[in-house]
Amino acid sequence: MKWTPGYRSDDVEDRRAEGDRGGGGTSMGGVGLLAWAFKLFGLPGLLVGGALLYFAGGLGGSDGSGPVSTPGARGTPTENAQDPEKEMVSFVSFVFDDVQKTWKDTFAQGNERYQTSRLVLFRGRTQSGCGTGQAAMGPFYCPRDQRVYIDLSFYQELKQRFGAPGDFAQAYVIAHEVGHHVQHLLGYEEKVQRGARGSQEGADSLSVRLELQADCLAGAWAHATGQRQLLEEGDLDEALRAAAAIGDDRLQQQSSGTVSPETWTHGSSAQRARWFKRGYETGNVQGCDTFAASKL
């Protein structure tokens, strides 16, 4: 992917210097979600990807008693020349801003206002509006504070454990999480929250439809990057490989040797790759209505 080295974003909060001091552990609600995250190897879109934290009342507790206070902005990414993640910070900053600019323009075309999200970089754990977020959860979006959270070490896991290397695989992760923010603004995430509790798991569940739509919205952003000549040879293959690597069926096969569609929350490898590709081909929100699709 073509991008601007050294890029800085005003919408990035860099909390990495806080290390592992993000809070005093998790509550019972958080423990249950962490166990689920462990089963799925803690991959992107887990937990707070719109529905799940709302269903559980947030990581801070299962009673839905409201958001945990969130630390204020920590400023732009570090300028420390010795920072081993300096280039990665610059890259995700560029991608995050580019994804948001794409959606801002898209909303404007429909005479709607896009409300900007923020990207929080952390190491180990940090506080979010949904409670204590931890690196083991993977990247996540918190609808309560409208922020995307990522521990950059996740990208090493994506490359080494799940065989999905490449800068556009990394960009896909950011675009997927911003896709959850778009869903929040458009009311899809609220629709899932109001859904029947029994419809939150399974191959045809509301949760799967929400996650596949976020994949499709990431593909719609990829379509826009192609129009602006930012894509390079192999980029789409990197994103499709990443989407397939985190399918529920593949993760279950790796962890237990069996596949149980009735417990899916994110969709199969084929579904995730298919909906990303559909977003890339259509380039719009209308083509990403997984909730109206008779077959996923």
pLDDT > 70: what percent of the chain? Answer: 77
Question: Three-state SS across the chain?
Answer: CCCCCCCCCCCEEECHHHCCCCCCCCCHHHHHHHHHHHHCCCCCCCCCCCCHHHHHCCCCCCCCCCCCCCCCCCCCCCCCCCCCCHHHHHHHHHHHHHHHHHHHHHHHHCCCCCCCCEEEECCCEEEECCEEEEHHHCCEEECCCCEEEECCCHHHHHHHCCCCCCHHHHHHHHHHHHHHHHHHHHCHHHHHHCCCHHHCCCCCCHHHHHHHHHHHHHHHHHHHHHHCCCCCCCHHHHHHHHHHHCCHHHHHHHHHCCCCHHHCCCCCHHHHHHHHHHHHHHCCCHHHCCCCCCCC
| pLDDT recorded at residue 283 | 96
pLDDT > 90: what percent of the chain? Answer: 70
For residues 289 and 215, what is the distance between their CA atoms, to the nearest angstrom? 11
Q: Which residues contact 66 (CB under 8 A, 6 or more apart)?
A: none
For residues 200 and 195, what is the distance between their CA atoms, to the nearest angstrom? 8
- From 52, 296, 45, select the one nearest 193 (Cα to Cα): 52
Q: Which residues contact 146 (CB under 8 A, 6 or more apart)?
A: 115, 117, 118, 129, 181, 184
Question: pTM score > 0.85 for this model?
Answer: no
Comparing 19-28, 100-109, 135-144, the range with the smallest average pLDDT is 19-28
For residues 100 and 95, what is the distance between their CA atoms, to the nearest angstrom? 9
Cα angle 111, 142, 192 (rounded to 5 degrees) comes to: 70
For residues 219 and 279, what is the distance between their CA atoms, to the nearest angstrom? 4
- From 218, 206, 184, 219, select the one nearest 296 (Cα to Cα): 206
Condensed to tens digits (0 to 9), the pLDDT of residues 160-181 reads: 999 999 999 999 999 999 999 9
Condensed to tens digits (0 to 9), the pLDDT of residues 217-254 reads: 999 999 999 999 999 999 999 999 999 999 999 999 98
For residues 120 and 132, what is the distance between their CA atoms, to the nearest angstrom? 13
Q: What's the N-to-C CA distance of the chain in angstroms?
A: 29
| pLDDT recorded at residue 37 | 39
Checking if the pLDDT of 53 tops 80, the result is no
Compute the chain's Rg from CA coordinates.
Answer: 17
For residues 70 and 110, what is the distance between their CA atoms, to the nearest angstrom? 32
Domain coordinates of the chain in residue numbers? 12-288
Condensed to tens digits (0 to 9), the pLDDT of residues 17-52 reads: 987 654 433 332 333 333 333 334 344 344 334 334
Q: Which residues contact 86 (CB under 8 A, 6 or more apart)?
A: 77, 78, 80
